[in-house]
Structure 1
Amino acid sequence: MATTGSAEGASDSPALWAEVRALLPRAEEGLTLALSGEVEDCVLPLLRRARSLLYGAAGRPGAATAAALERLSDALRDYSWEKLNAGPWREVGKGWRQVYAYGCLFGALAEVAAGRPLARAVRLCDLGLLMGASVLDNVLARLVRALQPHLPRAAPRDGARAQSVRPEPPPPCAVQHEELIPHLRCPSLEHFRDNYLVPQRPVVLEGVMDHWPCMKKWSVDYFCQVAGCRTVPVELGARYTDEEWSQQLMTVSDFISQYIMDEIPELKEDISIPDYCCLGEGEEDDITINAWFGPGGTVSPLHQDPQQNFLAQVLGRKYIRLYSPQDSENLYPHESQILHNTSQVDVEDPDLVKFPNFTKAAFQSCILMPGQILFIPVKYWHYVRSLELSFSVSFWWS
């Protein structure tokens, strides 16, 4: 196991460079620079020059070589960044995303070779993972795992914590028909399949995640220690349908200090895929796992998803409403292609003059508590509001 670096997280250890270098192919020709798509002719010579600098040194590159590698990294990232932001994301060629990933890789390696603090190297890895495409068997993910143990551990936070806001769920419209979502404790696979999956009926599962390590170990201090330096995309705004909604890249520590003042969890190895997912048609690798955390009052507007969903609550409470796909016409989906899966109705304050048929839609509701998993059948409409600082993990499966 790698030892923790200095207080500044410097990368001046020869052992660290050897560990990092071992993540790359041994010979220069093994680093193939294969791109999945066309890029401009001026790019490949830059990539090859960076590769030659990296493999030209018998051991750890000297200061001059590291500086030259850094300049090439900057050029590759700056040029490909323009391509990534020139139009809609879906139209960005994978080749340009790979160029950006290579630029981040060479930049991170230059930081380590120069013996600088590792925070910038980790940030470059994260940017490559977020905006780039996988290269060299996802080398950026492997590199950041190697660097992280050498970073300084964050000190526990001092001072008083902010009080949790515990707003209650909104009262339902008097003319709507509401029923509570049923609860079930550790049903067998057959019972869940026959009574909920096949008939597509929502249910809250209890006891399924009691053994997950996250239920005991996750806290804001723990999260800062193991992932405080990592860069993540953060959604800013009450709901994604608002005009002022936006996204911003920031470190986990900055997100916690700016937006979160209570406990918060993470870490994929502390959770488990529910056994009930094996009842689906896809493989385990096809399951999409997302982590959702935010302060009290965070809202997901009424929307539907194209896959089955297990929503596992780890921390905090969430108020949730579910509407059957049969009521879709009464929920007034947006007409635009981008938001066609999202209702125009504000569930908490519906405009019944503009959306009169909304009162005809019956719904089920629950307050999802820590340790509970909600099964949301495919295409079921769901509205979610955090009643306090909350952390959830969703498993999308087919």
Structure 2
Amino acid sequence: MAAEPAPGGSTLWASLWALLPSGKASIEAAAAGLADQVEGSVASLLRQAAALVCGGEAERAARGAGREACLQLSERLCDYAWERLHVGPWREVGAEWRRVYAYGCLFKALCLCREPGAALEEALRACDLGLLLGAPVEDNILASMAEVLQRHLSCSGEPAAAGEQEGQPLKKKIRKDFPPSPAITTEAAVSRLRCPSLEHFQAHYLIPQKPVILEQIVDHWPCLRKWSVGYVRQVAGSRTVPVEVGSRYTDEEWSQSLMTVEDFISRYIENKLQNQTGYLAQHQLFDQIPELKADIGIPDYCCLGEGAEEDIAINAWFGPAGTVSPLHQDPQQNLLVQVMGQKYIRLYSPKESENLYPHESHILHNTSQVDVEAPDLVKFPKFKAASFQDCVLSPGQVLFIPVGYWHYVRSLDTSFSVSFWWS
């Protein structure tokens, strides 16, 4: 049980402090453990920040330190760790630096909430950055803190729209006229199946690796009744998430940016500007925002894989009409569940790879060079001979995409999909 918070702290700070597994002792022990794994200057910052965060008012005054000094130490910790997180490939980043970054974010969020009139949005952003870039610490306390802060923000009123936050009005809506989905012929249509047994799905689709649309298998999911743009804004509007800016990741102008869900909705869904598309493609969204995770489940068909349930990767895909995933392959089996809106999807067997002209670079070797709906047949003449299947995926439908199957996806309107990758 967490130690009692120091007198003088705000009610919010007290509720956040209570989330710590064992209060002051927990933080100080973690700081001491990390001090043995990082350079001396960073270890000193850890100890100082931990002491200021955990100390009572008398101790803080004796050290001549207040809220600002505590924040400065926390930010210096984050800055040191940020540099280490970005010096090379992510897989080579040491776990200790991800933990340092998480503790820096934790200390910063606690400092921001220590006094009445807390900067809730700034504290929540610190929690989200720690969740996205750090490692879980203190029983994943940053996720628990983020839930508390989001509730407080929801009670205090709706967050300001992106343009209002910056003091600049957003431009008038200007939407592109997106083409309808191509006509789907009977011969090319993906097969549809209602609630097949696990044995039937395994024998007729999983083992032979054949795409199929599964119907009525997720009808019980609350998200199909609850989710809308407004609902996502309500439960996650203040949360900071990574957003892909650009209609497709192979475009030269494509980039990634961190912004709140509110900003994303305001800029790219409600006030989408000509030739600008943003897409929330998040591999951690459901861990970051448990309210959304509670509205979905893991389809039983995923249990036919070789891995454990915790090995199943759950991904969120939220964006406006016109967003495109270029023709590409994934290294795992995929169950793609459509929750909001519709998507046009075209599928090519791995046997067609020679006709699909994959990029030669290592980074994009799983992505075709061909623009599926506007192919350059002079440059890519074999593409015309490639046979395919296609479909329009609607809410409540689940598409099984076998491992290695090429697939192209275009959102026909504002869309939210959930995919399950499993081995």
Q: TM-score range by the shorter chain?
A: 0.7 to 0.9
SS in 2 for 1:354: coil
SS at match of 1:333: coil
Matches within 5 A, 1:50-129: 50-57=49-56, 64-115=65-116, 116-129=118-131
Say whether the 8 Å CA contact 1:301–1:384 is kept in structure 2.
yes
Equivalence for 2:352: 327
The answer to whether the aligner puts 1:15 opposite 2:11 as a matched pair is yes
After TM superposition, give the deviation of residue 274 of structure 1 in Å: 0.7
For residue 258 of structure 1, the aligned residue among 255, 267, 270 is: 267
Aligned residues: 382
Structure with higher RCO (Cα < 8 A, 6+ apart): 1
Indicate conservation of the 8 Å contact 1:313/1:373, yes or no: yes
From 197, 208, 214, the counterpart of 1:205: 214
Change in 2 beyond 3 A, CA 1:235/1:209: same
Q: Which of residues 274, 279, 288 in structure 1 aligns to 2:304?
A: 279
Distance 1:148 1:314 in 2: 23
CA drift of 1:350 comes to 1.4
Cα distance, 1:185 vs structure 2: 0.8
Q: CA deviation at 1:141?
A: 1.1
CA drift of 1:162 comes to 8.5
Unaligned runs of 5+ in 1: 1-11
Tell me the distance in 1 between the aligned counterparts of 2:201 and 2:144: 38
Instruction: Tell me how large the CA RMSD over aligned residues is.
Output: 3.0
TM-score for the superposition, normalised by structure 2: 0.83
Q: How far off is 1:124 after superposition?
A: 0.4
Cα displacement string for residues 93-148 of structure 1 (whole angstroms, at most 9, x for unaligned residues): 32222211111110000011023131110000001111222222222112112222
Superposed displacement of residue 37, structure 1: 9.5
CA separation of 1:222/1:13 partners in 2, compared to 1, >3 Å: closer, same or farther? farther
> Identity of aligned pairs, percent?
62
Q: Distance in 2 between matches of 1:59 and 1:123?
A: 29
**Match 1:132 to one of 131, 134, 140:** 134
Amino acid at match of 2:322: G
Amino acid at match of 1:269: A
Q: Which moved more, 1:45-54 or 1:62-71?
A: 62-71
* Residues in 1 aligned to 2:229 and 2:374: alpha-carbon distance in whole angstroms: 33
Structure 2 counterpart of 1:200, one-letter code: Q
Match of 1:167 in 2: 179
SS at match of 1:297: coil
TM-score (norm 1): 0.88
Secondary structure of residue in 1 paired with 2:113: helix
Partner of 1:216: 225
Gapped regions of structure 2 (runs ≥ 5): 1-7, 162-171, 272-279, 286-290
* Greater helix content: 2
1:48 corresponds to which residue?
Answer: 47
1:380 aligns with 2:405: yes
Judge conservation of contact 2:348–2:389 (CA < 8 Å) in 1: yes
1:24 is aligned, of 20, 25, 33, to 20
> Take 2:309 and 2:230, find their aligned partners in 1: how far apart are those partners?
31
Contact 1:333 1:341 in 2 (8 A): yes
Q: How does 1:243-322 map to 2 (within 5 A)?
A: 243-261=252-270, 267-322=292-347
CA-CA distance at 1:38 after TM superposition: 4.7
Please tell me whether the aligned partners of residues 156 and 221 of structure 1 are also in contact (alpha carbons under 8 angstroms): no
Which of the residues 363, 369, 382 maps onto 1:338? 363
Partner of 1:228: 237
